[in-house]
Amino acid sequence: MTRYRQNLVLLLIVMGLAAAISMLTRDWAHRSAVADLDRDAGYELRRAVSGLQAILAEYESLPHILAIDPRLLIALQDPNNPEVIDETNRYLESINQIGKTSDVYLMNSEGTTIAANNWRSVKSFVGNNFRYRPYFRDAMEGRTGRYFALGTTSDIRGFYFSFPVSDDDVIVGVVVVKISLSDVEQQWASPWGQNSFEVMVTDQYGVVFISTRAEWRFRHTRPLTPAQELVLDLERRYSDKELKPITYQNAEAPTQLLGTGARFVTVGTDPGNEQTYLEREADMPEAGWQVKLLMPLDRVKQEVSNVLLLSLSMFLVIVLLVMLLLERYRRERAMKHAQEQLEERVEHRTKDLSEANIRLQNEVQERKRTETALKQTQDELVQAAKLALLGQLSAGINHELNQPLTALRSYAQNAQAFIDRQLHDKAQMNLQEIVHLIDHMASIIGQLKVFSRKESESLGAIHVGACITAALKITESEIRRHRIELIMNVNEQDVLVLADMVRLEQVLINLITNAVQAIAEMVESEGEAALDGSRRLSIKVIENTDQVLIQVQDSGPGISDEALSHLFEPFFTTKKQSQGLGLGLSISHRIVESMGGSLTARNVPGEGAVFIVTLRKADVQEEREESADSKPDMWMTK
């Protein structure tokens, strides 16, 4: 199912649930609100009834107490005595004030008021006859009278208590206490305008006498019969007030919601504009009243909508919470899925990498094998080159040694002949020549030793200056003999190169010897005097960042162009046979290269030739203890 469809289904479910919840909640909230209303109505009704009862109880005994006062009897016995009546009026006036009653008055047996608290007022009861009132009749019959009515004179609604005034068991008059009922209405009414409940007190005929709603007063809740109308007229209970009807009937509401004693009623003075109330009523037989407590149903509606709003809000919160949790769960699941995928990918990659690693290792091994094979091939090639060189060398040696051997033979034969002829001096000379030739041959053979040396001899850091000094020690006699000026630009200790001390010495000896021979040759050809003072041999050490250059420069004739191109080839020489074999530079070149360096040569204009040995610079750590007694191999004597 797609996410969109899932959400749609979820939305439908939520809406369905919301509808169900609102239905259930509405029903439940309605029941609960009605039950609350019913409970409140019962409570308010009890309060209203007990309030009324308390008022009645408070004043009930007052006429009885007044009736036994002799002053009232005196007034009844002497009604025409103004002083007595005046005193009685004042007495009743003070009683009314103290008792906070509405009126207190005294009637004679005819029902005419002879004294009253309001004797000063224009609406005074004095002189008025109230015999038609039931409370008068009751008192005249010896009973306590209780009655409520609208005052005919005062137009004030009141409750009347009466009691007979007797003179030796003969009832001669009636004392009446009237209390106002408008205060209780004010007590029930809400100080903030609209009442939270309404109270209605009706008489036995259903006429509203007391009510929190002024417009309901003096209306009959049910139709009055002619007989009832007659009674009310006779008693003048409601004075001259016209009694109008009020709608008061059972409402079309589900009564099953209510407990016993309550009902829904529709009340209203204007037809079509009635309001529905929950009604609870109680009888007050001591006053002949029926008290109705009316709770407006608006409160129910309000409560239902409140509960509905609350429950729907809660439901919405729960739905949001559930959606939140669901989303979180979804997201966690997606993350877990992504993580699993990632792990899988990583695993895959790792596998690929380890495979690649194995492949690489194999390749490295293969390379190593190839390298070994190559090295082997190279070694073989070198070996072959060596053999070729050996062949070349052998040819050269053959050539070089043949002549001296032939000469040796001749000298030896000649020496024999000279000895036979007793020419010892000549024989001696020949023998000297033979020794000389043998020395020459030994020197040729001695040079070949370099080929037997291993090239891979270990190199070390050696002091260039020390090496040059050692080479000069061997060559200095020759330099001095030819009166050559030696110019040195060497720091003996400082510069270290990576080389083999003995072999570097051999190279330097060769270069110095060549230089000396070149200068000597020039002297020979140009004459001693010509070159006096300008025979120079200069040895200079130049230090670069990672290289060291040793320059051996002479003031000789320089190298011819032809010689420059063959300089490092074996057996190339321009010298006489006795002076050189042409192996020195070729061997030197080979030695320097084997030490990782190079040997080059060039002419210096105005001077002779310069030979430059370039070597790798060495660190102090690489300095190798050279054996103190190791001497350069004397492979070359020129």
Pairing outcome for strands 496-499 and 460-463: antiparallel
Of 232 and 559, the one with the shorter C-beta distance to ligand ADP is 559
| Residue-wise burial string across 391-401, b where 16 or more C-beta atoms lie within 10 A, e elsewhere | eebeebbeebe
Q: Are 511 and 588 in contact (CB under 8 A)?
A: yes
Give the length of the chain: 638
Which residue number has the CB closest to ligand ADP?
580
Q: Which is nearer to ligand ADP, 584 or 632 (CB)?
A: 584
Q: Which of 595, 603, 577, 573 is nearest to 585 (CA)?
A: 573
List the interface residues with ligand ADP, window 323-382 (CB under 6 A): none
Q: Which residue from 396, 580, 597, 632 is in contact with ligand ADP, where contact means CB under 6 A?
A: 580
Least Å from the CB of residue 450 to ligand ADP: 12
For residues 596 and 459, is the Cβ–Cβ distance under 8 A?
yes
CB of 441 to ligand ADP, least distance (A): 15
Closest CB to ligand ADP among residues 437, 518:
518
Q: Is 334 exposed, middle or buried (0-12, 13-18, 19+ CB in 10 A)?
A: exposed
Are 592 and 613 within 8 A, CB to CB?
yes
| Smallest separation (angstroms) from ligand ADP to the CB of 443 | 10
Q: Which is nearer to ligand ADP, 505 or 554 (CB)?
A: 554
Among 573, 594, 598, 600, binds ligand ADP (CB under 6 A): 573
The answer to whether residue 479 forms part of the interface with ligand ADP (CB under 6 A) is: no
In the complex with ligand ADP, the residue whose CB is nearer, 181 or 559, is 559
Which of 290, 51, 296, 267 minimizes the C-alpha distance to 197? Answer: 296
Q: Is 635 in the site for ligand ADP (CB under 6 A)?
A: no
Report which of 585, 589, 484 is spatially closest to residue 533, judged by C-alpha positions.
Answer: 484
Nearer to ligand ADP, 133 or 589 (CB): 589
Least distance in angstroms from the C-beta of 609 to ligand ADP: 4
Among 585, 591, 592, 613, binds ligand ADP (CB under 6 A): 585
Given candidates 608, 613, 615, 618, which one binds ligand ADP under the rule CB under 6 A? 608
User: Can you tell me which of 433, 543, 582, 598 binds ligand ADP, judged by CB under 6 A?
Assistant: 582
Q: How many residues bind ligand ADP (CB under 6 A)?
A: 22
**Pairwise CA distance, residues 592 & 596, whole Å:** 7
Give 308-335 as a DSSP string: HHHHHHHHHHHHHHHHHHHHHHHHHHHH
- Residue-wise burial string across 523-556, b where 16 or more C-beta atoms lie within 10 A, e elsewhere: beeeeeeebeeebbbbbebeeeeeebbbbbbbbb
Among 71, 146, 575, 624, binds ligand ADP (CB under 6 A): 575
Please give the helix or strand (H or E) that residue 167 lies within, else none: strand 157-167
Neighbours of 4 (CB within 10 A): 8
Quick note: the x/- pattern for ligand ADP over 501-540, rule CB under 6 A, is: -------------xx--x----------------------
Provide, rounded to whole angstroms, the least separation between the CB of residue 601 and ligand ADP: 8
Q: Is 431 in the site for ligand ADP (CB under 6 A)?
A: no
**In the set 176, 208, 501, 559, which binds ligand ADP (CB under 6 A)?**
559
Which of 184, 277, 554, 592 is close enough to bind ligand ADP by CB under 6 A? 554
- Provide, rounded to whole angstroms, the least separation between the CB of residue 402 and ligand ADP: 18
CB-CB neighbours of 634 under 10 Å: 12
**Cβ contacts of 152 within 8 Å, gap of 6 or more:** 128, 130, 236, 239, 240
CB of 496 to ligand ADP, least distance (A): 27
Does residue 396 interact with ligand ADP by CB under 6 A? Answer: no
Q: How many CA atoms lie within 13 A of 472 on its CB side?
A: 18
Say which DSSP state 459 is in.
Answer: P
Residue closer to ligand ADP (CB basis): 137 or 536: 536
Minimum distance of ligand ADP from residue 636's CB (angstroms)? 8
HEC letters along 232-285: HHHHCCCCCCCCEECEEEECCCCHHHCCCCEEEEEEECCCCCCEEEEEEEEEEC
Phi, psi of 448 (to 5 degrees): -70, -10
The answer to the question of residue 295 lying near ligand ADP (CB under 6 A) is: no
DSSP-derived secondary structure letter, 101: -
Minimum distance between the CB of residue 590 and ligand ADP, rounded to whole angstroms? 11
CB of 150 or CB of 609, closer to ligand ADP: 609
Comparing CB distances to ligand ADP, the nearer of 116 and 484 is: 484
End-to-end CA distance of the chain: 104
Q: Which is nearer to ligand ADP, 33 or 585 (CB)?
A: 585
- Residue selected from 567, 592, 599, 615 as contacting ligand ADP according to rule CB under 6 A: 567
Interface residues with ligand ADP (CB under 6 A) are: 514-515, 518, 554, 556, 558-559, 563, 567, 572-575, 580-586, 608-609
